[in-house]
């Protein structure tokens, strides 16, 4: 009998709840990159997942915002997985917003161990995503550049693992 290979995966789950104008997200820096600075909103990945997929929604076509995606190992300090900007497109999402259709990397700020893949990230009005190997890290979170969120703009980050 042939063995069956199955990839364990999960539905889209909220990584960072709706972030609006006036939020207090701030990028981690040299003095805020220790284990004690990991936010309570960080998700802990399921041990069966070797990779994560990240997607974003926002309020309206053309809205833009910077963000950083972080990781930490158990009792370890903070590492930057990816840093960049998203632009919201026209594809409706089930949360009432629209999927980000553009993701642009800040190559200087991104510091992950392995390649971070951008999927459909070039303004095609689809659903852009970030995919990366978790490399044994177990906590992940997103922080939006709060100063760039104005008016009725809002952003949500989602994740799925496999």
Output the domain CATH number for residue 127: 2.60.120
Give how far Cα 143 sits from Cα of 25, 38, 82, 140, Å: 6, 11, 11, 10
pLDDT in tens, 46-88: 988 999 999 999 999 999 999 999 999 988 899 999 999 999 9
pLDDT-based confidence at 5, cuts 50/70/90? Answer: low
Are 77 and 69 in contact by the 8 Å Cβ rule? The answer is no
- The reply to whether 26 falls in a domain is no
Question: pTM score, two decimals?
Answer: 0.91
Does residue 43 carry a pLDDT above 70?
Answer: yes
How many structural domains compose the chain? 1
- The reply to whether 152 falls in a domain is yes
- The reply to whether 94 falls in a domain is yes
pLDDT-based confidence at 6, cuts 50/70/90? Answer: low
Range of the domain at 48: 13-20+39-161
Q: What is the pLDDT of residue 8?
A: 67
Q: What is the pLDDT of residue 96?
A: 95
Q: What is the pLDDT of residue 143?
A: 95
Mean pLDDT over residues 116-128, rounded? 93
- The reply to whether 127 falls in a domain is yes
- The reply to whether 115 falls in a domain is yes
pLDDT in tens, 100-118: 999 999 988 889 999 999 9
What DSSP state is assigned to residue 115? P
């Amino acid at each position: 009998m042939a063995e069956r290979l199955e990839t364990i995966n999960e539905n889209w789950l909220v990584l960072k709840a709706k972030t609006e104008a006036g939020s207090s997200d701030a990028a981690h820096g040299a003095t805020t990159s220790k284990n004690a600075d990991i936010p309570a909103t960080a998700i802990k990945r399921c041990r069966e997942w070797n990779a994560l997929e990240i997607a974003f929604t926002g309020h309206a076509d053309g809205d833009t915002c910077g963000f950083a995606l972080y990781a930490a190992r158990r009792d370890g300090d903070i590492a930057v997985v990816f840093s960049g900007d998203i632009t919201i497109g026209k594809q409706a999402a089930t949360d009432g917003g629209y999927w980000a259709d553009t993701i642009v990397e800040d190559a200087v700020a991104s510091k992950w161990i392995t390649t971070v893949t951008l999927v459909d990230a070039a303004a095609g009005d689809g659903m852009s995503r970030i995919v990366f190997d978790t490399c044994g890290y177990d906590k992940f979170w997103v922080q939006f550049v709060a100063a760039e969120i104005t008016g009725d703009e809002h952003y949500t980050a989602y994740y799925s693992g496999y």
